[in-house]
Amino acid sequence: MIPHRAVYGQEHALFRDTVRRFAAAEIAPHFERWEAAGIVDRGYWDKGGAAGLLCPQVPEACGGIGGDFRFNAVVIEELWYAGFAGPAADFSVHSDVCCGYLLSFGTEAQKRKWLPRMISGETVCAIAMTEPGTGSDLQGVRTRAVRDGDGYVVNGQKTFISNGQHCDLVIAVVRTGGEGSSGMSLLLVETDRPGFRRGRKLDKLGHLSADTSEMFFDDVRVPAENLLGEEGRAMAQLMAELPQERLTIAIQSIAAAQKAFDLTCRYVHERKAFGKAVAEFQNTRYRLADLKADLAVGWAFIDQCLARHAAGELNSQDASVAKLWCSEMQGRVVDQCVQLHGGYGFMREYEICRLYADARVQRIYGGTSEIMRELISRSL
């Protein structure tokens, strides 16, 4: 189970109980159907809002509960430990990524308009960075927003966009100027605007119930007041918010790794081989001991990062270390756990198989492990 940690207080413990009840009542009964369909029900968002799970870091003045990011972390930990990576990832993009941009860079009018709707689940938010020819190198963005009178006209294509089918609002990274980072801006694009079109719901290895999609912008007219922050400042805005996104992925990874470890501990005590439990073999015990040590180290650093982030002190280097270590560790843990399950670990009817598939993307999105190493190396 997720260990008790000093970084949390009593209010977080009470909130954790709420999240666990929500997962059991509102996700578990529908999860297999959602995985088969490749998308959650739209009502999932309304129920998440009603339970208070969406955007808990929003101040009371904007309709939120006024928590810090540790409340977000509780939601992340509980939903990922429950094994619901797809629905959990949907919430994370909305609450832990998109909401931060509005809080940090939105005008008062933008905050009043969108944050209450995001908290309630009425508005689902997505962020559109990646394009078919642009992944980690965001300076290659080609989607263009041309100023025209009192607005912008947007043309381009995005891909791998989480919440792509359900979203009502997109934070789009667009090019408003010349080449390079200084020509990039963030625009709020409502998905009911003429010219906006959703593409395919993409078929993925894991996170099956997360609606990852293509998006197309064909002469989409957006009012100038939808500019998020200053024109030409998108790269600086992204760099300011990416540490929280990377901490989010690190927490996802370690919570899911902990679930895989706990499942495997139970399995090897029940499974018999050569007349005794698999857990009795020295090889099994030593492998599990290594995994337990990895998890203990990971949780300790996650808690350091959470404390720093709650104090406004988390930097890019520490967030990159957390993302790199925890996502790579998750990969090692789930691989060893599948091995300890033997042939059954390769069967999708066993939860460890899904945890293995869901783990692979953690080393890719939010900045690949290679990009994390590059960022870390710059501080050496």
Say whether pLDDT at 236 is over 90. yes
Active-site residue 245, yes or no? yes
**Taking Cα atoms as reference points, which of 39, 76, 43 lies closest to residue 163?**
39
Mark which of 123, 147, 176 sits at the end of a domain: 123
- pTM value is 0.96
Cα 53 to chain centroid distance, Å, stands at: 14
224 and 335 belong to one structural domain: no
Cα 4 to chain centroid distance, Å, stands at: 23
Specify the CATH number for the domain of residue 220.
2.40.110.10
The string of pLDDT tens digits covering residues 59-82 is 998 889 999 999 999 999 999 999
Q: Does a structural domain hold residue 1?
A: no
Mark which of 214, 230, 246 sits at the end of a domain: 230
Task: Please say whether the beta carbons of 206 and 80 come within 8 A.
Answer: no
Specify the CATH number for the domain of residue 344.
1.20.140.10
The string of pLDDT tens digits covering residues 217-231 is 999 999 999 999 999
139 and 157 belong to one structural domain: yes
Specify the CATH number for the domain of residue 19.
1.10.540.10
251 and 370 belong to one structural domain: yes
| Number of domains forming the structure of the chain | 3
The string of pLDDT tens digits covering residues 328-363 is 999 999 999 999 999 999 999 999 999 999 999 999
The string of pLDDT tens digits covering residues 160-218 is 999 999 999 999 999 999 887 889 999 999 999 999 999 999 999 999 999 999 999 99
118 and 34 belong to one structural domain: yes
Looking at residue 131, what DSSP letter applies?
A: B
Q: Does a structural domain hold residue 5?
A: no
- Which of 77, 78, 131, 245 is catalytic? The answer is 245
Q: Which domain does 32 fall in, by range?
A: 10-123
332 and 252 belong to one structural domain: yes
145 and 277 belong to one structural domain: no
Mark which of 196, 230, 264 sits at the end of a domain: 230
Q: Does a structural domain hold residue 3?
A: no
240 and 369 belong to one structural domain: yes
Residue reference for tokens 């470890």: 261
